[in-house]
Amino acid sequence: MKILLVDDDNAKVVEVAKVVEDAGIDTSDIDVATTAATALKFLEAKTYDLLIVDLVLPRRVGEPPIANGGAQLVENVHRSDRVRIPEFIVGLTADSEALAKSRMSFSNLLWSIELSGHDQSQWKVRLQQKLQHLRSREQQREPVGFAGVDCDVLFVCALPEPELSELHKASNAKWEQCTFEFDSNLYWRATLETDGKTINAYSTSLPQMGLVSASTTVSQAVRTLSPELVIMSGICAGRKGDCELGDVIAASVTWDYGSGKFIEEEDGVFFEPAPVHVLVDAKVQTSITSICANVELIREFYVSCPGFRPPHPSKMHFGPMASGAAVQNYKEFFSGVADQNRKILGVDMEAFGVAWACHQSVAPCPKWLVVKGVADFADGSKNNEYQSYSSFMSAKVAIEVAFQTLPAL
């Protein structure tokens, strides 16, 4: 279990550490930050199960604490696309002014604040209960899913045709169909080999497209197979001008662009987005960065495609990819969703569901990646020839990522 404690009062740090120890958790699992800026650096580098934050907190070293410093930190955590949001966040304070200033911020994000003054003890009980719950979840995780299952990587596709079939074709491996009791997913398994390396791979497709189907399918698959790495390949819509048909986009971060609320004002109804972002792991990013720079490797993938090929080899991109519940098919779509992230490169219907299922699985969570080929620009124009080609190219990249990343996990 990983815990980040953000507090500039050493006496409080010692007090919280004692509660953690009493819950049966090693205090070596605690990282301590004394400022909001330091805390953000920790959160960018690691995934934490629990964030405990003092409300009266300085922004940076040398600055005085401010009453809503902790609340500002929590809001920044939710806004940043570089931070992995902890599973639980708890605010602590003995200051009634800080409580009043921060209550709404925490409440809006569905997190709690505990009073921790000298005459308060219930916060310790509730914190210990939360810690024991997290510890129990961690202990329930089996080292492998089902007896006899050895899965290094799970490949997921939205559709059996052309996405999954192109993945199997790109792997040059023999895939055998398999099922598991208490799991409704249909799987294929194969041993992938290259340059003397072998990996045990499973693959599956979704019963239907969309965020919910992606999330539930991957959640069940992770529980059954316990993979180290989950990769989705297939097709997406690309942002015209930033990529071309057939290019491959690997998601650096993903979110649900439909998450938020509609508000009614005098001049109309408006949508206020409030997305939660999931960031790809640094080790996966290292592999993708290497592949993006290897133009000759991408050309090899292009030449190996057995069917339709565009006149020129594809390009690799690494950037934001958003997901939504509906197929988008009008010219103004990207200009609207770009308000949420100006660097957005692609959109699909499943990426966030896959990432969130991995992010929220019982520790140790599998690393994830969504890599998809551009088949259209979400502008109403369609070219069906690119669906198979883009599926094949994204699958070749996905397999290469698996071979490069797994030794580092």
Sheet bearing 3-6, strands edge to edge: 30-33, 3-6, 50-54, 88-93, 112-115
Q: What is the pLDDT of residues 196-228, one digit of tens each?
A: 899 999 999 999 999 999 999 999 999 999 999
For residues 310 and 247, what is the distance between their CA atoms, to the nearest angstrom?
10
- Segments of the chain with pLDDT less than 50: 141-145, 147
Residue with tokens 């133009």: 295
- Reduced to 3 states (helix: H, G, I; strand: E, B; else coil), residue 204 is strand
This prediction has a pTM of 0.65
pLDDT for 330: 56
Beta-bridge partners for 264: 269
Domain locations in the chain as residue ranges:
3-139, 153-408
For residues 31 and 232, what is the distance between their CA atoms, to the nearest angstrom?
33
Residue 92 burial (10 A CB sphere; 0-12, 13-18, 19+): buried
Q: What is the pLDDT of residues 40-63, one digit of tens each?
A: 999 988 889 999 999 999 999 999
Beta-bridge partners for 322: 255, 347
Are 3-139 and 153-408 the same fold in CATH?
yes
pLDDT for 67: 92
pLDDT for 339: 75
Residue 104 burial (10 A CB sphere; 0-12, 13-18, 19+): exposed
Residue 362 CA to its chain's centroid (Å): 14
Domain 3-139 has CATH 1.10.620.20: no
pLDDT for 143: 42
pLDDT for 142: 44
pLDDT for 148: 58
Give me the half-sphere count of Cα atoms (radius 13 Å) on the Cβ side of residue 101. Answer: 17
Residue 18: both structure tokens together: 């004692």
Residue with tokens 């048909």: 245
Which residue from 231, 238, 401 is spatially nearest to 315, judged by alpha carbons? Answer: 238
* DSSP per-residue codes, 222-237: HHHH--SEEEEEEEEE
pLDDT for 374: 96
Q: What is the CATH number of domain 153-408?
A: 3.40.50.1580
Please list, in sequence order, all residues whose beta carbon lies within 8 angstroms of the beta carbon of residue 403, skipping any fewer than 6 positions away.
192, 194, 197, 199
Residue 356: both structure tokens together: 């969130």
